[in-house]
């Protein structure tokens, strides 16, 4: 079934690579016109040419309000409005622990992941009110929710905050028929695993070699793909989810239930069963 986003205008932050690129491609295939807001200028311009007339690129550091506002202006002036805000951009941030993280590292990570979420919510409201409805999709992570933990300290705290922000916004904006939902991705081998803010590192052979390890990180013994996340975003952007708001949707193969401690393929099943028995 095609055309699930016919007539809709979307902004996708971080839309030139990884999960964001998969969503951009899928949204366009389903009939949407998309403003891609990203810091990767060269890739963004190439994507704009690839989908001429359907994609506009907006150079955007998601930590900066003016950059987000500029992306909204692109959507409204270029495509006529805004129906979907999918805030996907992010990176791991600072790796410091509870006892040694720097204040600067903490603040930088919160700005990148949580301040940007606040901005994405803020700038989307006015044009969606004009439309009479809208869908805002945020991106959290399985990191703060999986048993055993699967992310650095500042990152995990920020991503838990994203879920809280989404729930609060869903309550506040429901009266305007603006839905707010959060995707909780699991271990999907994209360039964010490099730790680079731009998500532009060349993972190459390393990710290919790591795919077998990725398949053992959660109860479902398979590798999560960027398309799995894009499919969830499509559902939340489309009219199929018209009565869904305030949801944190795991797309993680069960990682929020349990993370295997570098288990071997033979040992994982027993470990998962043991963990489930303790719940």
What residues are labeled active site?
A: 155
Rounded Cα–Cα distance for residues 52 and 45 (Å): 10
Best CA proximity match to 32, nearest among 269, 239, 270: 239
The answer to whether 257 and 219 are in contact (CB under 8 A) is yes
Which residues make beta-bridge pairs with 249? 183
Best CA proximity match to 132, nearest among 87, 79, 82: 82
Which residues make beta-bridge pairs with 250? 184
The answer to whether 225 and 255 are in contact (CB under 8 A) is no
Angle between helices 226-237 and 18-29 (to 10 degrees): 50
Rounded Cα–Cα distance for residues 82 and 127 (Å): 6
Handedness of CA 225, 114, 47, 78 (dihedral sign): positive
């Amino acid at each position: 079934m095609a055309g699930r986003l016919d007539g809709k205008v979307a902004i996708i932050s971080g839309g030139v690579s990884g999960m964001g690129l998969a969503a951009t491609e899928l949204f366009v295939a389903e009939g949407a016109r998309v403003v891609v807001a990203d810091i990767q200028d060269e890739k963004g311009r190439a994507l704009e040419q690839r989908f001429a007339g359907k994609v506009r690129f907006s150079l955007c550091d998601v930590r900066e309000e003016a950059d987000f506002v500029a992306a909204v202006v692109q959507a409204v002036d270029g495509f006529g409005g805004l129906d979907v805000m999918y805030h996907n951009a992010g990176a791991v941030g600072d790796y410091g622990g509870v006892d040694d993280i720097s204040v600067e590292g903490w603040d930088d990570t919160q700005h990148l992941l949580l301040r940007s979420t606040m901005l994405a919510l803020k700038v989307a409201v006015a044009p969606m009110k004009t439309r009479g409805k809208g869908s805002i999709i945020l991106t959290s992570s399985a990191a703060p929710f999986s048993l055993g933990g699967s992310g650095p300290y500042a990152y995990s705290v920020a991503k838990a905050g994203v879920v809280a922000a989404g729930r609060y916004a869903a309550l506040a904006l429901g009266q305007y028929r603006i839905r707010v939902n959060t995707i909780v991705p699991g271990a999907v081998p994209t360039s964010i695993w490099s730790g680079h803010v731009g998500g532009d590192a060349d993972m190459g052979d390393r990710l290919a070699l790591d795919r077998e390890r990725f398949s053992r990180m959660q109860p479902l013994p398979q590798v999560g793909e960027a398309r799995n996340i894009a499919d969830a975003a499509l559902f939340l952007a489309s009219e199929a989810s018209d009565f869904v708001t305030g949801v944190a949707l795991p797309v993680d193969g069960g990682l929020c239930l349990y993370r295997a401690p570098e288990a071997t393929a033979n040992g994982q099943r027993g470990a998962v069963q043991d963990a489930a028995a303790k719940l």
